Each structure stands twice: as structure tokens, then as C-alpha cells.
Chain A
Amino acid sequence: MAEFKHKDIIALRDLNKEEIELLLSTAESMREINSREIKKVPTLRGRTIINLFYEASTRTRTSFEIAGKRLSADTVNITTASSSATKGETLADTALNLLAMKPDIIVMRHAVSGSHYFLSEKLPSCSIINAGDGAHEHPSQGLLDMLTMKDKFGRLDGLKVAIVGDITHSRVARSNIQGLTKMGSAVFLAGPPTMMPPGVERLGNVTVCDSMKEAIQDADVVMMLRIQQERQGKTLMPNTREYSRYFGLNPENVKLAKPDAMVMHPGPINRGVEMSSCVVDGDQSWILKQVENGVAVRMAMLYHVCGGELE
């Protein structure tokens, strides 16, 4: 059986297939806890987890918090509103101050890609879990997406997964590309060329499609990414209305995918923009299952980094 030796989980790029399989298998076991009346095991009793969020997030932060609590760890949440970040303290100083409180794990979300590697270097005695860094990776999302696909198909090998939206700015897309490629799936990307980063087809088993139609044709999974006018700025598309016309998922084009295809979205959803409401709430939607799997996946991540080798 594979062993998990990393002290941190920062990117799925850093993990091999066996390690991803181990995390997914542990997550499957963790689900049992979430389904029973007493949703708690004593595994991480006495461990302290700090959820350090430099970017707003309800879903991911709550999910990590519940995951920690179900493993009996003490979890503390720090968000930018209440941290020293607004007073101009550097990440390095914040990290050292937190270290003085002896946390076992820091779960961080940060707007700057790669800042978790920086943090990890500063804190060799603490495990770091990435809850999203800039446009780099969002490994817990990638893992929960893969777990959800595995729930439906029983395998990841040989799946055709379409990811549609702003790939350039999507850490979800990058984690899925890294993870799915290692697990034997094929990723097909679609989006306006303004949102397609150069070289993305070389990140893994990735095909960049000319149209959304081409990407979702006969797909097993259609994953839609969030589009926000604020985030994509003024230059990447005319407006969300036109975007939706060409890259929105609706009851018509979803039929291009395989009849039993699953529809996914990392949330939060802009109904009527990247997905029409009837698809969001339709039979093929696995969106709520993704959220449910999020807790189990994060429990698995917390559990395994605690057994990782500190430097």
C-alpha cells in the first residue's frame, strides 16, 4: 500500500498517482463518519488547525473547519478581516507569529500563486494545506471532483472530462488537469481564447478545443467554471450575456455529452451565466454531491499530512 510522506499538500502536481489514490481511498472511508449520527472520530485529538484565509470563501473554509472538527482537532479560523494583513504585516511575519502558537496544520488560501511554498519554507515544523492559491492550484477541489467522478463511474481511467470557462484564471482547472491526467482521464478544455493560457495543452493529457461543442461532445463529465465580470476584467469578453451564449451549459447542449454524463461546478454558481438553472438543478447535476464529498476529502488530507515527514 502506498504511503503518504508529504508534510504538505500544496499542489496535485507534487503528488503521484498512488498518493492521489490513497487520499481518495481514505476519503471514501471518511464518508462513513459523515453519514452517522455521531459524526466524530478522535483521530486528531489535541491537534491544532489554523484556517488562514486571505481571500473570502464560505464553502471551502467551512468544509475544512468541519473536516477538522470531525477528526477532533481544534480548529481556529483567521480571515483577512480579522488578521494583521490589513495592518501591513507580511505573510512571513504572520506565519512566524502563528508558529509561536504551535499549530500542527495551517490551511491557507492566498491570492498569490506559490505562497504556500513560501510559507512551508518558513514553517518546517508545521503542515501546510493549500485551500487555493491565486491561479495556481486548489488541490482539495481537484480531489473532491475526482472522488465525485469515481462515485459515478467507479473509475477515473479513460474518462473524457470537459472543463469549460476561464482556464487562465482557474486554479480548479489546473488541479483537475494535474490530477486527472495522473489518473488516466483525458481533459478537454473550452473557453474563449482570451481565457486559454499558453502551453496549457502541455500540462497533461489535455486537448484545447475550438468550441464548447467539441469539448462536451461525448464527454463523461462536463465541468463548468465560474465566470464573473469583475474577475475576468474588461478585456477578456464583451459581457456575461454574450459569454453565456457561446460557453454556457443549457438543456440543449448538455445533450451533446454522453446520456449518463455528469455535470459539475466548483461553485459558487452564477445561474443563467455559465449554467442555466435547469441544468444546475437537473438530474445530471452532481454539484451538491461535490460539496458533500468536500468534507470527506479534506478529512483525508488533514489525516494524511499529520503522518507526513517533517523536515
Chain B
Amino acid sequence: MSGEQTVIMDNSGIKRAVTRISHEILERNKGLTDVVLIGIRSGGAYLAEEIGRVTEVIEGVKAPVGAVDITLYRDDVSGHLPHQAVGKTDIPFSLEGKRVVLVDDVLFTGRTIRAAMDALMDHGRPQCIQLAVLIDRGHRELPIRADFVGRNVPTSLKENVAVLFDDKNQPIEVVLEK
């Protein structure tokens, strides 16, 4: 990647955003009844764990947290490029009738979310799916919109937005790469 990196959200910024999103999720769903958190591997899964912890502190109950790997649902697996390693989908509970909050780190074209929703549908029929993202960088290619957004960051297509995590999978900061 190119050299130039700008920090667009520092660690305390991430903490505040996660806390706000957690409150919004609780407000929208009137608590945690039937709510499950599903993170998209890998960044989204770490954030879902984080939201799970924050909502538990606020609400006193723990929402089930799962993770989905969307590799097998991607729409670009054709083309003879080496296939990515397939991560584990880990949803050890039924989604039937649940209010699913899908969590990802960066919302971009919307294709990942499309794939994730297809994957979730194969695990049962949720009552609804809501989308929480830390960063929305625009440039949607599909009609997809987030319900909970940490921050909207206008970007150009040449730029890249990355959420960095430490080796304990804790978010460090968000950078914009030119």
C-alpha cells in the first residue's frame, strides 16, 4: 500500500462511537430482548464483541454474539484468482425470529453486507436485520444503508479506510490511506 496514512479516528473516538452505537441499538430495540449481534469477519466480529460488552454493562444482560465469514457468499469468487482462505462462521444459535444487528467496521460498496445478509438468511429467518458500522465511507453500489453509524467519512475511490486492531483484537484507531 501507499505510504501516506492519516488517523481519522483515534482510540477514544472509537470508544465514544461504540458507546453511542450501543445506546442507539438499545433504544431502537427497546432493550436486548431477541437481539443478537453478528459481526462480519474479521473487523466486524471484533466490534460486535465490543458492542456486546458495552450493551451488557448498560443493560445487565448479554446479547448472543456470533460471527459470519462471507467468503463463500462473495459475488467475485469467479475469475481465476487464488481463492481466499475461508474463515469460520460461528453462529451457535438460531436466528429464527431474532432481531439481528449485523456489525461491520467499514461500509463501502455494500457488497459485503449483501453477502452477509445472504449468509444470515441461510441460518434461519430473522425478524429483522439492522446494520451497524463504525465508518461509512460512501460509494455504495447496492441499495444498502446503515442503521447505526460511528462516523461518515467522505472518501475518494483511490483512498482506503482501515480499522486497525491490536493482537488482542481491540480496536486501536481508524486510518485513511492515500
Binding site for B on A (CB under 8 A): 1-5, 7, 22, 25-26, 28-30, 32-33, 36-38, 40-44, 71, 300, 303-304, 306-310
Contacts and interface: CB of A to CB of B under 8 A. Distances in A.
Given A36-B122, A37-B124, A306 B77 contact: yes
Interface residues of B, number: 22
Interface in B112-138: 118-119, 122-124
Given A37-B124, A38-B122, A26 B80 contact: no
Summarize B's interface: helix, strand, loop or mixed: loop
Interface in B79-118: 80-90, 118
23 contacts: A1-B85, A4-B82, A4-B83, A28-B88, A29-B87, A29-B88, A30-B86, A32-B89, A32-B90, A37-B123, A37-B124, A41-B73, A42-B72, A43-B72, A43-B73, A43-B74, A300-B86, A303-B83, A304-B83, A307-B77, A307-B80, A307-B81, A310-B80
B50 interface: no
Contacts of A303: 72, 83, 86
Contacts of A44: 77
Contacts of A36: 122-123
Among B72, B81, B118, which residue has the most Cβ atoms of chain A within 10 A? B72
A26 B86 CA distance: 5
Contacts of B82: 3-5, 307-309
Contacts of A309: 80, 82
A44 B73 CA distance: 9
A150 to B, nearest CB: 14
Nearest to A72: B72
Contacts of B49: none
Specify which of A1, A43, A44, A306 lies most central, judged by the most chain B CB atoms within 10 Å of its CB. A43
Contacts of B71: 43
